[in-house]
Amino acid sequence: MRVLGIETSCDETGVAVYDTQVGGAVGLLAHAVYSQIALHAEYGGVVPELASRDHVRKLLPLIRQTLAEAGLKPADLDGVAYTAGPGLVGALLAGAGVARALAWALDLPAIGVHHMEGHLLAPLIEDDPPEPPFVALLVSGGHTQLVAVDGIGRYRLLGETLDDAAGEAFDKTAKLMGLPYPGGPQLARLAEQGRSGEFRFARPMTDRPGLDFSFSGLKTQVLLAWRQSDQSEQTRIDIARGFEDAVVDTLAIKCERALDEAGCETLIVAGGVGANRRLREKLRAVAAKRGGRVCFPRPELCTDNGAMIAFAGALRLRAGQRASAGINVVPRWDMAALPPVGEPIDVGAR
């Protein structure tokens, strides 16, 4: 089954074609991402109306480009998947509208995909995918969650952030140290050269039981350290390293606890912060120590992309799930409410 995936929940237009006939990484026939970073940079953050308009502008050219790269014509497709939420409502509607219109014109089944389920399943696009049950660490710009995955579509929330998401903490911390938008990846790049231990920040909420996170206090600690420092380039680099160490350690400690609680030794990691090199290293070391396994998508499939939507949608379409023909999006959507895959269910608006 060849499924076209369309992602437009925020500031990235992602398009891909995934073929369920072929296993592993070759299942992904083509994928392309257009980032709106330059468009939003002068405002220091995403401007929703500009994002929606840019998705409208870029979607059809990107779909044509992706189909050409896959060597396919529209008539070769068997289904369409699009991000139906959570996300910016106008941006979601741009993708859902195009996806629905295509499905209607080509007489194809279509399904709205939960953006975080897309992230969660992205590691399974790679070779030798793990089988559930496993624990998923979802670390993006909007979410930080630990999820027990009992099966595809069977998700139990173990813990989540009480305030800022991990990616949001990276972005805000970068901003307060004067790095240009979007700061997260730039802060991570600076941290690569930083000296560990020059600045030591708290590992929030690791001194008490539980699997929830809190990252907003860390940002304040960094702000104080930065204000009281000489604000030299070396200091910026060392603070970036201290901040990254704190986030990475905190995530690793909670991942170990979640594995203990779930009673399993397979961890999967997804979402933009999953591209972080030091987080990947640390979690690999944790898995090696425990004799377990950690799986990540390649870094370009950690951040927003169409491949994860094509893949998650393909699993659901193949199981007989379909959305009704209306153009419906769900800006706020609880992942635990998703139907399991394997039972043919009319998921209605979703």
- What residues make contact with Zn ion under the rule CB under 5 A? 140, 304
Q: Cβ(267)–Cβ(135) under 8 Å?
A: yes
- Quickly tell me which residue has 């594995």 as its tokens: 259
- Quickly tell me which residue has 């670390």 as its tokens: 139
- Quickly tell me which residue has 């209607």 as its tokens: 104
Q: How many CB atoms lie within 10 A of CB 259?
A: 22
Which of 79/142 has CB closer to Zn ion?
Answer: 142
Any contact of residue 170 with ligand KG4 (CB under 6 A)? yes
Residues 196-225 that bind ligand KG4 (CB under 6 A): none
List beta partners, residue 145. Answer: 138, 160
Any contact of residue 266 with ligand KG4 (CB under 6 A)? no
Q: Which stretch binds ligand KG4 (CB under 6 A): 27-35, 145-153, 182-190, 320-328?
A: 182-190
Separation between Cα atoms, residue 7 and residue 98, nearest integer Å: 11
Q: Cβ(321)–Cβ(339) under 8 Å?
A: yes
Q: How far is the CB of 2 from ligand KG4 (least distance, A)?
A: 25
Of residues 109, 112, 272, 313, which one binds ligand KG4 by CB under 6 A? Answer: 272
Separation between Cα atoms, residue 234 and residue 266, nearest integer Å: 38
Q: Which stretch binds ligand KG4 (CB under 6 A): 180-188, 285-293, 321-329, 331-339?
A: 180-188
Q: Which stretch binds ligand KG4 (CB under 6 A): 75-83, 145-153, 184-192, 313-321?
A: 184-192
Any contact of residue 19 with ligand KG4 (CB under 6 A)? no
Alpha-carbon Rg for the chain, nearest whole angstrom, is: 20
Q: Which stretch binds ligand KG4 (CB under 6 A): 166-174, 212-220, 228-236, 329-337?
A: 166-174
Q: How far is the CB of 308 from Zn ion (least distance, A)?
A: 9
Q: Please, which residues have CB within 8 angstroms of residue 272's CB and are 6 or more apart in sequence?
A: 139, 140, 141, 167, 184, 302, 303, 304
Of residues 97, 141, 242, 313, which one binds ligand KG4 by CB under 6 A? Answer: 141
Secondary-structure breakdown of the chain: helix, strand, coil percentages, each rounded to the nearest 5: 45, 20, 35
339's tokens: 């139907």
Q: How far is the CB of 217 from ligand KG4 (least distance, A)?
A: 18
Q: How far is the CB of 109 from ligand KG4 (least distance, A)?
A: 26
Interface residues with ligand KG4 (CB under 6 A) are 140-142, 167-168, 170-171, 182, 184-185, 188, 271-273, 275-276, 303-304
